[in-house]
Structure 1
C-alpha cells in the first residue's frame, strides 16, 4: 500500500468516519436462543448450521468469497431486525445469498433463480425465493451492501 499524502489521508479519514456512522446505523447483532428451542426463535446452533450450508451453496454455485460474506451479512442484518421462524431459515439464507450474488457476481455466473433452486436441490419454489427477496429488500430498505471482513482484507492487503 502506498503512503498517502495529507490530502489523501484526510479524505480517507472522512470516508472511514462516514462508514462508521453508516455501520452504527445499520448494524445490530442478531440474538439467538441458546440450545434447543420449540418456539419461533432461531438458536445459535441453527444459525451456525445454516451458515455452513450457505457456504456449501456458495461453493456449489462457484460464487466468489465476497458473495458468501455479503450473503451472511444480509442474513444477519435481517435476523437482527425480524423474528424469523426456524422453518424459514434456509429460505431466508438462500435468498440472502442470491441477493448478494446479484450485487457481486457476473450475470453469466448467477443464472436464473429457477436454475439456482434446481441446482441446490432445495425444497422451496422460485416464487418463494422471489417473495422472500421482496421481504428482505423491504426490511433492509433496499440497502443491502455493507462492508464485510473480505472487503477489509482487500483494503489492508
Structure 2
C-alpha cells in the first residue's frame, strides 16, 4: 500500500490546523470542581449519565455517530457557558442532540420535534425543546459546529 504524497500530507496538516484553530476559539470544557461542573449544580456523575442517555437516544433515533459527537459538544459548550440547573439537564441534552441532528441528518431522519420528545420519554414538551433551542443558539452565538473527535478520525483516516 502506497503512503500519502507530500501534497496530501500538507492538505491533511492544513485540515487539522484549521480544526484546532476553530476548536481553540470555541471550546470551553466544563471543568469539574468538587464533583460538580463548574458554574452549575451538576455533578460529574449526572453529566456522565446524560452522555450515556444521549448515546441511547442517538441509537433510538438512528442518528449517525457524528450527530452524537456534535450533540455532546453542544451540551458541553453550553454547560461551560451558563449555570444550568439539574432539573433542566435532560431538556438541554435532548435539545443539544436535536440541534446536532438538524445539522448532520437528513430532514426525513430527524422527523418532528414532538416525535423526538415523545420517543425520548422525557417530561418536556415540544414547545419547551423549541424554547431551549433558542436559548442554546443565543448562548452559543448561533455557532453550533465545533470540531469533534469524529472529525479528527475522518481527517486522519483519509
Q: Same fold (TM over 0.5)?
A: yes
Q: Where does 1:43-82 land on structure 2 (aligned, <5 Å)?
A: 43-82=43-82
- Give me the whole-angstrom Cα distance separating, in 2, the residues matched to 1:29 and 1:128: 26
- Give me the whole-angstrom Cα distance separating, in 2, the residues matched to 1:124 and 1:107: 22
State the superposition RMSD in angstroms.
Answer: 2.1
Q: Which runs of 5+ in 2 are unaligned?
A: none
- Give me the whole-angstrom Cα distance separating, in 1, the residues matched to 2:21 and 2:55: 30
* CA-to-aligned-CA distance 1:44-99 (integer Å, 9 cap, x gap): 01100111111111111111111111100110011111111111110000000000
Give the conservation status (yes or no) of the 8 Å contact 1:91–1:129.
yes
Alignment of 1:135 with 2:138, yes or no, is: no
Question: Corresponding residue for 2:4?
Answer: 3
- Give me the whole-angstrom Cα distance separating, in 1, the residues matched to 2:40 and 2:155: 39
CA shift in 2, pair 1:110/1:54, >3 Å = same
Task: Report the alpha carbon displacement of residue 12 of structure 1 after superposing the two structures with TM.
Answer: 4.1
- Give me the whole-angstrom Cα distance separating, in 2, the residues matched to 1:84 and 1:152: 29
Q: Which runs of 5+ in 1 are unaligned?
A: none
Question: Corresponding residue for 1:122?
Answer: 122
Paired residue secondary structure (1:132): helix
- Give me the whole-angstrom Cα distance separating, in 1, the residues matched to 2:31 and 2:17: 27
Q: Where does 1:37-48 land on structure 2 (aligned, <5 Å)?
A: 40-48=40-48
Give the conservation status (yes or no) of the 8 Å contact 1:91–1:124.
yes
TM-score, scaled relative to structure 2: 0.88
